[in-house]
Chains A and B, each alone.
Chain A
Amino acid sequence: MLEIKNLKAQIEDKTILNGVNLKVNKGEVHAIMGPNGSGKSTLSSVIAGNEDYEVSSGSITYEGDDLLEMAPEERSHRGVFLSFQYPVEIPGLSVSNFIKTAINEKRKAFGQENISAKELLQLFKEKCELLNIDKEYLSRSLNEGFSGGEKKRNEIFQMAMMEPKLSILDETDSGLDIDALKIVANGVNSLKSSSNSIILITHYQRLLNYIVPDFVHILKDGKIVMSGDKSLAQKLEKEGYSFLN
């Protein structure tokens, strides 16, 4: 599904990714861990198409096509989803209108009709239940005045509504209390299937107790320096990043 080869990226002349290699197959869950400033968020931004970052070399192939050639919206239409570490607030735009438009923009890109009101309502109802969200919240302005946890839950709600093939969850666990974490993790687990993939970016092993990864990678100084299975995360939790030295 996704293949990253020797990816180097920079922001304003500062190199952040320094040769990342990663292969994610259908149905796999990968966790990327690493100390602060190691490039985790940059990697997710580059995959989603944030133009603030410049890719200086390397490639990202998604479903056999050059992902770096695609505009951010095209990546989204093709099924790439980034759950933001810091979701933006958009006063004046309701959650429901935002999600409806997102769904319809994708449909438009594939020459399909807009989603019907009935279908949309059904989908809202189903996904609200999944994530334990009060329907009243759909009419609120997007992320405006949301607590940190609500914002993260809203990201996963969007993920549930848009049914992406490749989801990158950038520190979705930070800012969540234990109950919210369980709800979000349950939501993510129920969206998991053999045809979609998830990349979890996290600092802590805590999230991985609930969403069990197939692979764990450690990113350091813009490179993946170690990969393993879920036991690697446990080792990290116990020993810290110092064991890498």
Chain B
Amino acid sequence: MLIEEIKKHVVDADLTSTQKKSLDYFLENGFPTTKDEDWKYTSLKKVLKRKYCLKSSDFELNDEMIQQYSLGFKDKIIFKNGKIYSEPKILGVSIKKMRDLIMPKNSALCYLNEAICENSYEIVFDKNLNLDNPIEILHFINNDNDYFLQLRTKITCGSGSNVKLVERFCNIGNNTLINSCMHADVKRNGFFEISKLQSYNDNTHTIDNTLVDQDRDSTANVHTFSFDGSFIRNNLNFYQNNENCTSNMNGITIINKSNFVDHHTFVDHKFQNCLSNESYKGVYFDNTKGVFNGKIMVRPDAQKINAFQSNNNLLFSDSASIKTKPQLEIYADDVKCSHGCTIGQIDKKSLFYMRSRGFSEKTAKGLLTFAFLIEVIEKLNTKEIVDYAKTEIAKKLSIEKDLL
């Protein structure tokens, strides 16, 4: 059992008192099960059945591999099994390895991560730093054995800074379960954006915890692209800790085979005059399963809140399924909140219309699906990201990318 493995692993570890406390919490609670409300439709059982090792082994990394996974941005922060491998030299950007890195937590997995992650980093973007181009964060992962990896990063965006990141986990090895915790702390008037490129191989199982703290007048955008990987659970939390915050979440999921994707999002509107905007679209082929749970909390004093949420899904197969649930808890009275979920199939009338104009069934379905997704794509403002999304979408729809 993995828990036994964890206990063995920590015997020799030199844990700080914080880490010890977190470990105790984890051991007391264990991995989440389907009895937990937040994990009702997401079973870790199968993923946890493997015999994982927790120790990292070293491996060679060359430019060719980096290029294969990079979208081509000049500045890259590269990690090897969670350990920093290379970093860009940019004035106003610093990366520090941290002994104790305390973050907000949303499940026992975050406690586990806090307890046993050996490579925790804080990336600091100085105040008023304005990055022209996104920085790519590439995590290369390779191990001789099946591997349970903890990643832990804190991103501090100084007040008035403008930070764009692209994050990708690149598993080039065996079966790997990644438990990643990222905490973004966006200071006053800061702008933070991260695009998560979830194009993993079939050996990769990910639990991605992203927690965003926002100060007054800040904006945070998280774009999540879930295209491949056998198991993906995303926990995305925004905490609006002052007035006039904006939180945007966009998601595109297109999966096939027997892959599984779960998006759990949470926006905590604690102060007045804030905005959140959430748009997730999913396309499910074959035997795939999807879960969406969007929780929006509007606290009693958080007046003048605008919160919008939508989750639209297309099912392409009788054996594909999606469970979608909006969860709104509103305790203030002067707010504007909307939510909507849809599940459907490609419209037969549209399909015939297009075929009667000479479109093959495949092209017609592909373009209709792309048209379904375009609302989210149009919200992306980085050419390379749009290009990445189109490439992956075209691949999934078996149509030429030029058509999109």
Q: Judge whether A91 and B371 touch: CB under 8 Å.
A: yes
**Residue in contact with A102 in the complex, picked from B352, B359, B371, B373, CB distance below 8 Å:** B359
Which residue on chain A has the smallest CB distance to residue B378? A92
Chain A residues within an 8 Å CB radius of B348: 52
A43 to chain B, nearest CB (A): 14
Proximity bits, B343-359, A CB within 8 Å = 1, else 0:
00001111011111111
* Contact residues on A (Cβ < 8 Å of other chain), bracket: 20 to 34
Q: Judge whether A92 and B356 touch: CB under 8 Å.
A: no
Chain B residues within an 8 Å CB radius of A75: 356
Q: Judge whether B374 and A51 touch: CB under 8 Å.
A: no
Chain B residues within an 8 Å CB radius of A122: none
A98 an interface residue at 8 Å Cβ cutoff?
A: yes
Q: Judge whether A76 and B360 touch: CB under 8 Å.
A: no
B111 to chain A, nearest CB (A): 43
A84 an interface residue at 8 Å Cβ cutoff?
A: yes
Q: Judge whether A92 and B357 touch: CB under 8 Å.
A: no
Q: Judge whether B355 and A92 touch: CB under 8 Å.
A: no
A87 an interface residue at 8 Å Cβ cutoff?
A: yes
Q: Judge whether A84 and B372 touch: CB under 8 Å.
A: no
Chain B residues within an 8 Å CB radius of A26: none
Chain A residues within an 8 Å CB radius of B367: 93, 98, 101
Q: Judge whether B359 and A92 touch: CB under 8 Å.
A: no
B109 to chain A, nearest CB (A): 37
B24 an interface residue at 8 Å Cβ cutoff?
A: no
Which residue on chain B has the smallest CB distance to residue A75? B356
B296 to chain A, nearest CB (A): 26
**Residue in contact with B375 in the complex, picked from A49, A92, A158, CB distance below 8 Å:** A92
B361 an interface residue at 8 Å Cβ cutoff?
A: yes
**B92-137 interface (Cβ within 8 A of A):** none
Kindly state the separation between the CA atoms of A52 and B374 in the bound complex, as whole angstroms: 29
Chain B residues within an 8 Å CB radius of A102: 357-359
Kindly state the separation between the CA atoms of A52 and B352 in the bound complex, as whole angstroms: 10
Q: Judge whether B353 and A88 touch: CB under 8 Å.
A: yes
**Residue in contact with A84 in the complex, picked from B353, B361, B371, B374, CB distance below 8 Å:** B353
**Residue in contact with B370 in the complex, picked from A81, A92, A141, CB distance below 8 Å:** A92
**Residue in contact with A76 in the complex, picked from B355, B375, B403, CB distance below 8 Å:** B355
B198 an interface residue at 8 Å Cβ cutoff?
A: no
B258 an interface residue at 8 Å Cβ cutoff?
A: no
Q: Judge whether A51 and B358 touch: CB under 8 Å.
A: no
B373 to chain A, nearest CB (A): 8
Q: Judge whether A98 and B357 touch: CB under 8 Å.
A: yes
Main secondary structure of the interface of B (DSSP, over half): helix
B374 to chain A, nearest CB (A): 4
Chain B residues within an 8 Å CB radius of A49: 352, 355-356
A60 to chain B, nearest CB (A): 15
Q: Judge whether B374 and A77 touch: CB under 8 Å.
A: no
Q: Judge whether A90 and B352 touch: CB under 8 Å.
A: no
**B42-58 interface (Cβ within 8 A of A):** none
**B349-404 interface (Cβ within 8 A of A):** 349-350, 352-361, 363, 367-368, 370-375, 403
Q: Judge whether A82 and B358 touch: CB under 8 Å.
A: no
Chain B residues within an 8 Å CB radius of A97: 403
Chain B residues within an 8 Å CB radius of A158: 357
Kindly state the separation between the CA atoms of A51 and B348 in the bound complex, as whole angstroms: 10
Scoring B353, B359, B372, B374 by chain A CB atoms within 10 A of each residue's CB, the highest score goes to B353
B375 to chain A, nearest CB (A): 7
Proximity bits, A80-111, B CB within 8 Å = 1, else 0:
01101001101111000110011101100100
Chain A residues within an 8 Å CB radius of B354: 90, 98
Chain B residues within an 8 Å CB radius of A81: 356
Q: Judge whether A51 and B359 touch: CB under 8 Å.
A: no
**Residue in contact with A93 in the complex, picked from B355, B360, B371, CB distance below 8 Å:** B371
Q: Judge whether B372 and A105 touch: CB under 8 Å.
A: no
Q: Judge whether A48 and B356 touch: CB under 8 Å.
A: yes
Proximity bits, B221-256, A CB within 8 Å = 1, else 0:
000000000000000000000000000000000000
Q: Judge whether B363 and A101 touch: CB under 8 Å.
A: yes
Proximity bits, A43-58, B CB within 8 Å = 1, else 0:
0000011111000000
B198 to chain A, nearest CB (A): 23
Q: Judge whether B352 and A92 touch: CB under 8 Å.
A: no
Q: Judge whether A109 and B358 touch: CB under 8 Å.
A: yes
A139 to chain B, nearest CB (A): 13
**Residue in contact with B372 in the complex, picked from A71, A76, A92, A98, CB distance below 8 Å:** A92
Kindly state the separation between the CA atoms of A49 and B355 in the bound complex, as whole angstroms: 9
Q: Judge whether B350 and A72 touch: CB under 8 Å.
A: no
Kindly state the separation between the CA atoms of A71 and B352 in the bound complex, as whole angstroms: 10
A73 an interface residue at 8 Å Cβ cutoff?
A: yes
Which residue on chain A has the smallest CB distance to residue B350? A88
- What are 8 contact pairs spanning A and B, CB under 8 A? A52-B352, A71-B361, A77-B358, A84-B356, A91-B371, A92-B370, A93-B371, A105-B363
Can you add 17 more A-B contacts, CB < 8 Å, to A88-B347, A92-B374, A98-B354? A50-B352, A51-B352, A52-B352, A73-B355, A73-B358, A73-B360, A73-B361, A76-B355, A76-B357, A77-B358, A81-B356, A84-B353, A90-B354, A91-B371, A101-B363, A102-B358, A105-B359
